[in-house]
Amino acid sequence: MRYILGVDGGGTKTTCLLANEEGCILKRIVSGPSNPESVGEKKAKENLSQAIKTTLKGQKVEVICLGLAGVDLPEDAEKAYRFVKRLKVAKKIIVENDGIIALSGATVCKPGVVVSAGTGAIVFGLNKAGEKTRASGWGYILGDEGSGYDIARRGIIAAIKALDGRGENTSLLNKIPQYFNQPSIISVALWVYSSDFQLDKMAGLSPVITEAAREGDKVAQEVIREAAKELALAAGAVIKNLRMEKDEFEIACTGGVFKAKGLILSTFKSEVKKIAPQSKVIFPKFSAASGAVLMGLKEAGVELKGKVLKNISSRRMSLRAERNVIASRRRSNLKVLYTSSLDPSGNSKEDT
């Protein structure tokens, strides 16, 4: 039996999935971040090799497929490739940006587009010819339009403009301070410039804007519509750059922003339909880590259909039940955040 290791290396954690060639996920390890931009190169390498070694425990695999945040340029990929090669754990090594494995998971390695809108926002696409491209994802100052952070920022600005008399009155003037447990929007503004400020705390406000929009607040609705249009603009750029306007393909929406569905999803859908009428907006079929496994399986010559996909799916289902255990472990703040193994039947068995 041949094995595949899929790695999703991000700025907050690194997820490793060990699968056999039938798509059965045998083990799942979640370790510290492996994005050099967030933890530095040394720590990123340490976390990555620890995650891989903890998962494999000396075992070798046919293919290791890594999707790594911060791998934007060919030289980044080359560097990561050489590092993983030295670990001597796999016959074949694939190194990609984490957006590519997210895309592969979302569309099961088919041509398509993945729009990720969490704290940040980025769009990746793959066409029939195997060409890949991206748009947005330029960070919280210059890009990430339509992300949770961006929606939060637009919401606070809208409230401030209402206060100044530069904009229409809005329920956000009360809702935003309430959410942050602050006495006023001015205190919220001061917090944004304080040392206590964090991007993800700010992004956490985004559901409050969505709620206000759902309740009929016109200003909040405009913020959500603008965000949706920005996400569609980025998706549209990827579609045009890959000449996919007339193709049938899936656009997978992922990240906290799309969880709100409602106005953001409906506006996004109607906007992308203008660019690619044959496209279909979906939620991802598999996670980014599973996407890495799928790419690894494809590289090993395994056909991605039937039982293989069912095996990955069944694992995916069982993970839901596992999450409560995971959440409680996370609180203990272990370097290896959580680890579990499964027998090929898909029954969860903890492996501490």
- Amino acid in position 276: A
23 vs 99, 306, 344, CA distance in Å? 21, 10, 9
Question: Rule CB under 8 A: is residue 238 a binding residue for a second copy?
Answer: yes
Helix (H, G, I), strand (E, B) or coil at 88: coil
Neighbours of 275 (CB within 10 A): 17
Please list the residues that pair with 123 across neighbouring strands.
Answer: 115, 135
Is residue 126 a contact point for a second copy (CB under 8 A)?
Answer: no
Q: Does 168 bind a second copy (CB under 8 A)?
A: no
Q: Does 228 bind a second copy (CB under 8 A)?
A: no
Q: List the one residue from 135, 212, 213, 220 that touches a second copy (CB under 8 A).
A: 135
Is 243 a binding residue for a second copy by CB under 8 A? The answer is: no
List the one residue from 48, 160, 205, 264 that touches a second copy (CB under 8 A): 160
Per CB under 8 A, does 70 bind a second copy? no
Helix (H) or strand (E) holding 261: none
For residues 255 and 202, give the distance between their C-alpha atoms in angstroms, rounded to a whole number: 15
| Segment contacting a second copy by CB under 8 A, of 2-10, 18-26, 53-61, 237-245 | 237-245
Nearer to a second copy, 193 or 216 (CB): 193
237, 282, 300, 336: residue in contact with a second copy (rule CB under 8 A): 237
Residue 199 binds a second copy, judged by CB under 8 A: no
Using rule CB under 8 A, residue 241 touches a second copy: yes
Identify whether the C-beta of residue 121 lies closer than 8 Å to the C-beta of residue 99: no
Q: Stretches 112-120, 141-149, 216-224, 326-334: which one binds a second copy (CB under 8 A)?
A: 141-149
What phi and psi values does residue 179 have, to the nearest 5 degrees? -60, -40
141 contacts a second copy (rule: CB under 8 A):
yes
Tallying the residues shown for the chain, one arrives at 352
CA 153, 154, 155, 156 dihedral sign is positive
Of 4, 44, 156, 219, the residue at the interface with a second copy (CB under 8 A) is 156
